[in-house]
Structure 1
Amino acid sequence: MTISAGHFTPDRAEDIAARDMAECREAIRTGSLSFHAASRLLPTAVRDPSLALYAFCRLADDAVDEGDDKIGAVLQLRDRLDLVYQGRPRDAAADRAFARVVEAFDMPRALPEALLEGFAWDAVGRRYDTLSGVLDYSARVAAAVGAMMCVLMRVRDADALARACDLGLAMQLTNIARDVGEDARAGRVYLPLDWLAEHGVGVDAFLADPKPDAGVRAVTRRLLDHADRLYARSEAGVPRLPFACRPGILAARHVYAGIGGRVRAAGYDSVTQRARTGRGAKLGWLALALLRAGTTAIGPVPSVLHAGAAPEVDFLVQAARGTPRKARSEALLSVLAQLEARDRGIA
């Protein structure tokens, strides 16, 4: 695939077609209100490719999460990624737009394949014994997107990438805390199993009859507490980003943290209700992001900026920095083979 070294300029004929871009915007506007709001503060040269990236990821996530054939959806996503990296994307707006992003920004294949691996874990119904396991999953389905966003901003500094991955982890932990009840009713649990056991929550009983008892609330609180630490640590990387990109990234940080705040305000009950943020709140967080981006209050604390990547996301940092990788990881190949076997009915 020929890689363009030039900057992404949406008005050039070889960039994302206007119709494809319009479909990507609509997919995000209706499917990811929080990111759509934050993206409005990004410069066009980053916003349009980021919307294309999110549209591809979001539609793939919906196919796996909401479809009846989760295994088939993951295998189809594998094939779609193969076609994108061959320069022959499927005839669909999100695929064509993402293929252009891959070409224009020399997107390391290991990053979207990390997302593919996370979706594959969903398809096999994997559960996570510890917080580290939850972070392993979050690295794939969220921090990988954070690393890809850095690539779109043409930032491949290790410290900035590590902090971007912190933000992705925090956002996914917030999503998990918000969706405890919704996931349980679908037979899924993403909370650390050892925390649930520690607080006297039996997983099978909870899935059979989801209730926001004291143990579930305590685990939800602990997850949000860890997310808050990651949000705080992520801010040290913001000054390493292009100045024009900082408001959009800070907006994403505040909007998603605000969702966690809604869960807290509900007494950590995300079983009987789902935390939502209104238009007014989002506008307030966008204004806060603009204000903070123009001040020195977010200046990096060196010990935090240079803290290194969390172990669960180090492979993403290395991939985004361009560390050579000859082939797909053995872990990804293994889970894909498992899905292939299930799809053929032999496992």
Structure 2
Amino acid sequence: MTPRQMGGGRSREALVRRSREAIRKGSKSFTVASMLFDKDTRDRSHMLYAWCRRCDDIADGQDHGMRPAEELDLSRSSPEDRVEAIRVLTHRAMDGQPTADIAFDALGQVASEARLTPDMADDVIDGFALDAAGWRPRTEGDMMRYCYHVAGAVGVMMARIMGVPADAGDTLDRACDLGLSFQLNNIARDIAEDDAAGRCYLPEEWLAEYDIPPGQHMKPRYRKELVTLVRRLVAMAERHEAAARLGAGRLTFRQRWAVLAAANIYGAIGREVVQQAELAWDHRVHIGYFEKLGHVASAFREAISGSWEPARLPEWDRGKLLVMARMAGPVAGVPNTPLRDEDVRRKED
């Protein structure tokens, strides 16, 4: 047996340095917001991001983040095999074992420091498994379950990195809301790119409601209906964003500032999609550097003023989505995970 070694035996400095390279390459928005954190939180958030980026690369058979050892080149294997490799490497890293992939070793480091659990990581990996299975959402709940896996669960991990206790359920719920908001805005922005890749994250029931035939939502004749549908999507994102601000008020000042800056920047993406209406998918909507700085300044004022009570909490909360995730039937690599005690209590609530 290989001895347990935090970070796979690599130095923390090397893990942080390579993780920082991954985030600079992968997300300009998150790079800007993360610079507002204190050093420890920033380093940990970068290591978590590096793992998320690497998982995404492996799932898609790409290498946009960090290059693995030659034997871990999975680009020619099946999507299901790649997801299984992600799960095996993740569990190995969180067990303190070296993985030969620096992004997974970085996860092992941050998991040890922030007490992240394999269940948290598995919730994220289940989102990759859904994509590998060619899954598409039929209902609004299906869409939100997917958003939970790929972003809401990451928000919970980020909250733990920021020192939110494991028993602070309401604050973790608000962190989940922030991730859900991010992903809903991403879906709105990336509809054309997803369609080109053979994917669609818009609920089939929504498309039917707007008389858009399956697989035809990018056709010019349905562009007006798509704009109306996306307004609804972004409105949902804004409700989750408002709820997330409530949780931000419980963080330290620098953490609150960073979270609010990220909320402002990602929220601006969705609002820009709505503003551009029928032209929104002719090119990829993005927020310019100076506009991002404006959102950072606005977040600074919000972090000081401290007034974020939402009009009402969103319908799709973490408790409901956890129960959906645990009770969902197995889908090509997505295990039918039994309900845990916490999930049962949430269902009863």
Q: Tell me which interval the TM-score lies in, with the shorter structure as reference length.
A: 0.7 to 0.9
Equivalent in the alignment of 2:332: 335
Identity %: 33
Instruction: Give the TM-score of the pair, scaled to structure 2.
Output: 0.82
Is residue 195–residue 219 contact of structure 1 (8 Å, CA) maintained in 2?
yes
Give the alignment of 1:1-347 within 5 angstroms: 17-65=12-60, 67=62, 69-156=78-165, 157-206=168-217, 213-267=223-277, 269-298=279-308, 300=309, 309-314=317-322, 335-336=332-333
Contact 2:59/2:82, CA 8 A, preserved across alignment: yes
Q: How many residue pairs were aligned?
A: 315
CA-CA distance at 1:85 after TM superposition? 2.2
Structure with the greater relative contact order (CA < 8 A, sep ≥ 6): 1 or 2?
1
Q: Runs of 5+ in structure 2 lacking a partner?
A: 63-74, 336-349
Secondary structure in structure 2 of the residue aligned to 1:335: coil
Runs of at least 4 residues of structure 1 off by over 6 A? 1-4, 305-308
Q: Aligned with 2:201: secondary structure? A: coil
- 2:84 partner SS: helix
Q: CA deviation at 1:178?
A: 0.3
Give the residue type in structure 2 aligned to 1:118: G
CA offsets per residue over residues 86-110 of structure 1, 9 Å max, x none?
2113122212211011111211211
CA shift, 1:212, in A, is 5.9
Measure the CA separation in 1 of the matches of 2:162 and 2:233.
29
Q: Which residue of 1 aligns with 2:65?
A: none
What CA deviation, in whole Å up to 9, does each residue of 1:262-287 have, x standing for no partner?
A: 21121154432211111011111111
8 A contact 1:38–1:286 mirrored in 2: yes
Structure-1 separation of matches of 2:323 and 2:278: 33
SS of corresponding position for 2:249: helix
- Taking a change above 3 Å as real, the CA distance of residues 255 and 22 of structure 1, as seen in their structure-2 partners, is same
State the Cα distance separating 1:147 from its structure 2 match: 0.2
**TM, length-normalised to structure 1:** 0.82
Deviation, 1:333, is: 6.6
Query: How far apart are the structure 1 equivalents of 2:80 and 2:144?
Result: 23
How far is the alpha carbon of 1:311 from its aligned partner?
4.2
Gaps of 5+ in 1: 5-13, 317-327, 339-347
Q: Deviations over 1:166-197 (max 9, x none)?
A: 11111100000000000001111001111111
